[in-house]
C-alpha cells in the first residue's frame, strides 16, 4: 500500500498583517508536529503563494518530505554556487565548515575577557613582574582595539593591519621592528592559550600566519676587552659594579637591578678560576641561580665591596 504524501495547501482566508493583505500557505513539518506556515504578499505570479505551494508539492511528491529543499534554500545554493566553485570548496564543505565555525564562536569569548583571564593565569603561575608589566601594556593596547570582539572571529589580515599601523605612544611614529616583534610575540602567547582553552579552533591560530619583521633594528654587538675597560673607566663610580656584572657575568638589566651586596659572595681563597658567586633570581625562568665570579669581575668589584 502506497503511503499518502502530505501536501501543502493554500488557505482560503486572506489576512491583514500590519496593514498589508497576505495569503498563507500551510505545509507539513519535516520534523513532525504541528504544520508550519508561510505568509505571502500576493497570491499568484513570481514569488507568490501559489508558485511556492506548487514547487513544494512537486518536490515532496518526487522525493519525499524528508528530502525537500525550499525555494529559499535553492536560491541560496544558486547564489553561492559560483563563489564556492571559484574558491574550490564543495557545498558540503561549506556547510560543515559553517556549522563547525558557529560551534567554535558560540563556545568562545570576547578578547577583553580572554586577556583578563590570561593575565590572572600568568600571575598565579608566578611570572616575573617585568614580564607581567609587558603583557599588561601590550595586550592592554590590543584589548582597547578588539576588546568586544569574540576572539575566534579575529582574522589574520586584521592582526596584520593592527600590527603594521601601531605607533609609538610618545612620538607618534611607527614602532620599531623590535617593538613589532615583541607585540607579535605577546599575541602569539595569548592566542596559543586561547587555543588551549578551546576558544579558537585547534590549528587555526591566526597570529602564526601574520607577517613577522624580517630583521630587528640592529644586531647586538660584541664588546672587546678594550671597549669594556673604557666603558668602566668612564662610568660614574656608583654604577661601575652594575656595568661590570653585566659585562663579565652576563646578567640582564632586570636581574642586576634586584641585586645588593648580600647577593654577592666572595670566597676567602679562589677555587681555580672561581672567586665567588652571584646568587640571584633569574627573570626568564623565575628561579634562583648562581653565577661564578671570575678574576676580571672580582678585580672590578673589590674596590666597591662593602665589608660588614
pLDDT tens, per residue, the chain with 308 residues: 344 445 667 775 566 556 566 788 888 776 667 888 888 888 888 888 888 888 888 877 776 655 556 667 767 777 888 888 888 888 888 877 777 667 666 778 999 999 999 999 999 998 888 889 999 999 999 999 998 999 999 999 999 999 999 999 888 899 999 899 999 999 999 999 999 999 998 888 999 999 988 765 555 567 888 888 888 888 888 889 999 999 998 888 888 888 888 888 899 898 998 999 998 877 665 678 889 999 999 999 988 876 44
Whether residues 182 and 271 fall in one domain: no
The position carrying cell 561549506 is: 94
Query: Where a domain ends, among 59, 89, 119?
Result: 89
Whether residues 170 and 233 fall in one domain: no
- Residue 154 φ/ψ, nearest 5 degrees: -70, 130
Whether residues 298 and 249 fall in one domain: yes
| Report field, pTM of the whole predicted structure over 0.85 | no
DSSP letter, residue 174: B
Q: Does any domain span residue 99?
A: no
Q: Does any domain span residue 219?
A: no
Whether residues 62 and 22 fall in one domain: yes
Q: Does any domain span residue 2?
A: no
Q: Does any domain span residue 177?
A: yes
Whether residues 46 and 119 fall in one domain: no
Cα distance between residue 294 and residue 223, in whole Å: 17
Q: Does any domain span residue 175?
A: yes
Cα distance between residue 192 and residue 186, in whole Å: 10
Whether residues 262 and 230 fall in one domain: yes
Could you tell me the CATH number of the domain that includes residue 116?
1.10.150.130
Q: Does any domain span residue 218?
A: no
Q: Does any domain span residue 215?
A: no
Q: CB of 35 within 8 A of CB of 56?
A: no
Q: Does any domain span residue 94?
A: no
How many domains, the chain? 3
**Domain of 120, in residue numbers:** 111-209
Whether residues 140 and 203 fall in one domain: yes
Whether residues 83 and 115 fall in one domain: no
The long-range contacts involving 178-185, CB below 8 angstroms and separated by at least 24 positions, are 178/213, 178/216, 178/217, 180/213, 181/212, 181/213, 181/216, 182/134, 182/138, 183/138, 183/142, 184/210, 184/212
Amino acid at each position: 500500500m502506497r503511503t499518502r504524501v502530505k501536501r501543502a495547501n493554500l488557505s482560503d482566508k486572506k489576512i491583514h498583517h500590519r496593514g498589508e493583505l497576505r495569503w498563507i500557505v500551510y505545509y507539513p513539518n519535516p520534523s513532525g508536529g504541528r504544520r508550519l506556515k508561510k505568509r505571502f504578499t500576493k497570491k499568484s505570479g513570481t514569488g507568490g503563494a501559489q508558485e511556492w505551494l506548487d514547487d513544494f508539492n512537486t518536490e515532496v511528491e518526487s522525493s519525499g518530505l524528508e528530502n525537500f529543499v525550499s525555494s529559499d534554500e535553492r536560491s541560496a545554493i544558486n547564489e553561492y554556487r559560483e563563489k564556492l566553485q571559484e574558491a574550490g570548496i564543495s557545498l558540503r564543505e561549506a556547510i560543515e565548515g559553517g556549522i563547525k565555525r558557529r560551534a567554535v564562536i558560540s563556545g568562545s569569548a570576547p578578547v577583553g575577557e580572554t586577556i583578563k583571564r590570561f593575565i590572572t593565569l600568568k600571575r598565579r603561575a608566578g611570572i616575573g613582574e617585568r614580564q607581567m608589566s609587558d603583557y599588561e601594556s601590550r595586550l592592554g593596547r590590543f584589548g582597547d582595539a578588539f576588546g568586544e570582539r569574540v576572539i575566534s572571529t579575529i582574522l589574520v589580515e586584521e592582526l596584520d593591519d593592527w600590527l603594521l599601523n601601531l605607533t609609538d605612544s610618545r612620538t607618534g611614529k611607527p614602532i620599531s621592528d623590535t617593538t613589532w616583534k615583541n607585540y607579535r610575540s605577546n599575541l602569539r602567547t595569548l592566542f596559543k592559550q586561547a587555543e588551549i582553552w578551546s576558544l579558537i579552533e585547534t590549528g587555526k591560530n591566526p597570529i602564526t600566519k601574520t607577517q613577522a619583521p624580517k630583521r630587528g633594528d640592529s644586531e647586538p654587538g660584541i664588546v672587546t676587552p678594550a671597549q669594556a675597560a673604557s666603558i668602566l673607566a668612564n662610568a660614574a663610580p656608583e654604577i661601575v659594579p652594575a656595568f661590570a656584572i653585566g659585562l663579565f657575568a652576563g646578567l640582564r638589566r632586570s636581574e642586576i637591578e634586584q641585586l645588593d651586596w648580600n647577593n654577592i659572595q666572595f670566597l676567602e681563597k679562589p677555587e681555580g678560576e672561581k672567586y665567588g658567586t652571584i646568587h640571584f633570581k633569574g627573570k626568564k625562568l623565575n628561579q634562583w641561580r648562581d653565577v661564578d665570579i671570575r678574576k676580571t669581575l672580582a678585580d672590578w668589584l673589590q674596590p666597591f665591596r662593602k665589608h660588614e
